[in-house]
Amino acid sequence: METASSGSDYEARALIFGVTGQDGYYLRQICAREGVAVYGVSRSGGDWIKGDVGDCNFVRTIIRRLRCSYVFHLAANSTTRVEAIFENHAAIASGTINILESCREYCPGARVFLSGSALQFESDGSPVSDSMPFAASSGYVVARNYSALAARYYRSLGLRTYVGYLCHHDSPLRAERHLNVRILRAAQRIRAGSRERLIIDYPHVIKEFNFAGDIMEAVWLMVNQDRVFESVIGSGIGHPIVDWVRICFEQVGLDWKEHVDITDRGRPDFERLVADPSVVHSLGWRPQVDIRELAELMAAGT
For residue 65, what pLDDT is reported?
97
Question: Can you tell me the distance from the alpha carbon of 12 to that of 81, in angstroms, rounded to the nearest whole number?
Answer: 38
Decide if 113 contacts 73 (C-beta within 8 A): yes
pLDDT interval class at 46 (50, 70, 90): confident
Domain range for 70 is: 12-168+211-233
Are 70 and 122 within one domain?
yes
Count of domains observed in the chain: 2
Q: In terms of domains, do 229 and 251 share one?
A: no
Same domain, 132 and 178: no
Based on the domain organization, do 149 and 264 belong to the same domain?
no
Same-domain status, 220 and 105: yes
CATH classification at residue 156 = 3.40.50.720
User: Is residue 7 in a domain?
Assistant: no
In a domain, 158, yes or no: yes
**Are 136 and 259 in the same domain?**
no
pLDDT of residue 59: 98
Cα Rg of the chain, angstroms = 19
- How do 12-17 and 230-233 pair as beta strands? unpaired
Task: List pLDDT tens digits, range 137-183.
Answer: 999 999 999 999 999 999 999 999 999 999 999 999 998 889 999 99
157 belongs to a structural domain = yes
Q: What is the pLDDT of residues 82-139, one digit of tens each?
A: 777 888 889 999 999 999 999 999 999 999 999 999 999 998 899 999 999 999 999 9
- Indicate the residue type of 204: H
Based on the fold, state whether residues 252 and 117 are members of the same structural domain. no
Indicate whether 146 and 18 sit together in one domain. yes
pLDDT at 226 over 70: yes
* 33 found inside a domain: yes
CB 169 within 8 A of CB 211: yes
Do residue 139 and residue 254 come from a single domain?
no
Same domain flag for 112 and 189? no
Confirm whether 5 is domain-assigned. Answer: no
Based on the fold, state whether residues 223 and 185 are members of the same structural domain: no
Query: How confident is the prediction for the chain on average, in pLDDT?
Result: 93
What pLDDT score was predicted for residue 55?
Answer: 97
- Decide if 280 is inside a domain: no
Residue 282 is assigned to a structural domain of this protein:
no
Residue 81 has pLDDT above 80, yes or no: no
Q: Inter-axis angle of helices 179-191 and 241-251, to 10 degrees?
A: 30
Residue 180 lies in a domain: yes
* Percent residues over pLDDT 90 in the chain: 85
Q: What is the CATH number of the domain that holds 296?
A: 3.90.25.10
Shared-domain flag, residues 70 and 175: no
